[in-house]
Structure 1
């Protein structure tokens, strides 16, 4: 097979190449194994998709097959027994076979970004370009998934993180004041319930308010009935479209088309009704917020509920919350395409800073009271 015709790097015919060194062979075989594994990841992801997304993922798998052929050609008789891909790629394959979610796409996006081909003269420039394009394709696919879960994900991260930080800060404040274990446990339980109820009430009111705004912006059902009786010469229907942001010329044309029966607008029959993002029920949103907050707030309470006392309980609560904060930060980093470790440490730093302030206040008040 010839070199990729899209390559702009100088290509040396196989017969004129110097004999590959053992180091070259090892590197090429590793590339070959990784290309096979990456193609398998895209195939596994495609199995869990339909329509356009499936076609795109299959096309990416085909592209990895072209890269695989390149390394096969260079290796020639040195191909040897197939190697396994690196640990990272094998893990992606494991996740793709079992989940196929936006999390996997986000990980694949980062993997494409770390391609070594740009600095390897044995890879063609077309292969390097392919990897850059693959990153953008996967980014776009992952963005679709991010958009689908953005509302739920925001509520989950915000609720759980708020529960973790606020209740840890509350517990450390009481612990710093020197009160007994039973008081700290009571404060933690009260903080959990109060915070979760507050979050639920706030989410309920928020959703109800949003639905009210959307209902107020929805065209009246009587509008459709009035359209046939409009004065065609005056064409006041155009004012509706102008009020919705169209230019005068666009509004006139669209109104004329509607009146002439050349166009039917929205499925509900309203002329030019804006499409709105579906808003979930207020009760469901409130229950979700309650659950997300409580799931975070209960973690710092666990050591005290188990009977651990004093400094040991305080350290245990901090460690458990720290692990949870890092985990939420890592998840946010993966989904957003950012560095997971950095996001995790940032979450940890913010949470611990808030808790440290309340602990110091507890110490101060405890000293004053004593």
Structure 2
């Protein structure tokens, strides 16, 4: 808590620049608390309680800056663009986007370097980052399988078909040939991506099931010889240290001989969590097919609308560039990373591939000419 006497003394000795900074902190804390309360109102159970506790913590930080300012200022600045973006996304999008942005924002707290922020406040922000990271992880697990297939499918469709039409167009062939080549690339790529995603996800799930430990049938446990270490060896094979494995074996046999439930030894929760991250095979295949096709159609649109030569190429580059920036930024948001950097990375990869095939197309066009 902030000492009122110390706060009054600090406020009297503060500079206008410091007071402006404190006022900015004040409005940011209020806005962040409002975001957490808005999210809490849409959640239930543990998530609602966690978000409410985060809002209360931001309220304590707000009280600190209010005390330093000596009460409510006559005028306050606007909240930072980052905080305003969090509020807008909290009202219009799902919480996973907000959690991802908040996770990144909490990790860049200015309180570590500000002498007027308490050590407890700086520590709070670090803890908040981990709390929000945990909440974001829940959402990522729920959509990771389908989302991964959608993002990879869309990006593959954009990049591969852009490279295809750029390369073929550079050879100087007729516009209709470029268009039909692009449509053929769309269909072939979408089918290949869908089939490949199904096989990949199905294989991952089967691998997880094969490596998951089996159940220990309760009926056989009372007949085991503890001194022979069979049950302890089971636990040791699962990574339990030798001394702990023997203790766990004794406890299990003791419960089994008294006809008590011995519990599960399989870690089935871990299997379910892992399978949730991997996702369903058919769902991933459908997402991959649809989003590859939706991405792959974009480079072909100029030729479908009757454009040709340089105008078709320029429009295709603009459309694909915007789409790559969008998908890259979305991946950045959801991963808690900087959206602009991820967006530019996607753009450079896509345009780099297109540039290579375009140059090859020019080379082959000159050779055949």
What is the root-mean-square deviation of aligned Cα atoms in Å? Answer: 3.0
- Where in structure 2 are the equivalents of 1:1-370 lying within 5 Å? 2-3=2-3, 12=6, 14-15=8-9, 17-18=11-12, 20-76=14-70, 79-80=73-74, 84-214=78-208, 216=210, 224=217, 227=220, 230=223, 241=235, 243-246=237-240, 247=242, 249=246, 252-253=249-250, 256-257=253-254, 259-260=256-257, 261-266=259-264, 272=266, 274=268, 275-276=270-271, 277-278=274-275, 280-370=279-369
Match of 2:12, SS state, is coil
Deviations 1:259-312 (A, max 9, x none): 32333334xxxx647552336553333212101211211111111111111111
State whether residues 171 and 361 of structure 2, in contact with CA within 8 Å, keep that contact through their aligned partners in structure 1.
yes
Say which structure is richer in helix.
Answer: 2
Structure 1 residue 237, shift from structure 2 partner: 5.8
Check whether the contact 2:10–2:68 (CA below 8 A) recurs between aligned residues.
no
Q: TM-score, normalised to structure 2's length?
A: 0.85
- In the alignment, the residues of structure 2 paired with residue 215 and residue 133 of structure 1 have an alpha-carbon distance, to the nearest angstrom, of 35
Distance 2:300 2:287 in 1: 21
**So what's the TM-score if we normalise by structure 1?**
0.85
- Comparing 190-199 with 327-336, greater Cα deviation is found at 327-336
Q: Say which is worse superposed, 304-313 or 204-213, in terms of deviation.
A: 204-213
Q: 1:71 to 1:272 in 2, by over 3 A?
A: closer
Pair 173,98 (structure 1): closer, same or farther in 2 beyond 3 Å: same
Is the 1:200–1:290 contact (alpha carbons within 8 Å) kept by the matching residues of 2? yes
Q: Indicate the SS of the match to 2:337.
A: coil
Distance in 1, matches of 2:296 and 2:255, equals 56
- 1:100, CA displacement in angstroms? 4.0
Cα distance change of structure 1 residues 191 and 87 upon mapping to structure 2, 3 Å threshold? same
> Tell me, which stretches of 5 or more residues in structure 1 are unaligned?
5-10
User: In structure 2, how many angstroms separate the alpha carbons of the residues matched to 1:143 and 1:215?
Assistant: 23
Using the alignment, how far apart are the partners of 1:342 and 1:219 within structure 2? 42
* Mapped contact 1:203–1:282 kept (Cα < 8 A): yes
C-alpha displacement of 1:127: 2.5
For structure 2, which runs of at least 5 residues remain unmatched after alignment? none
Contact 2:214–2:266 (8 Å) recurs in 1:
no
Question: CA, structure 1 residues 232+352, in 2 after alignment: closer, same or farther (shift >3 Å)?
Answer: same
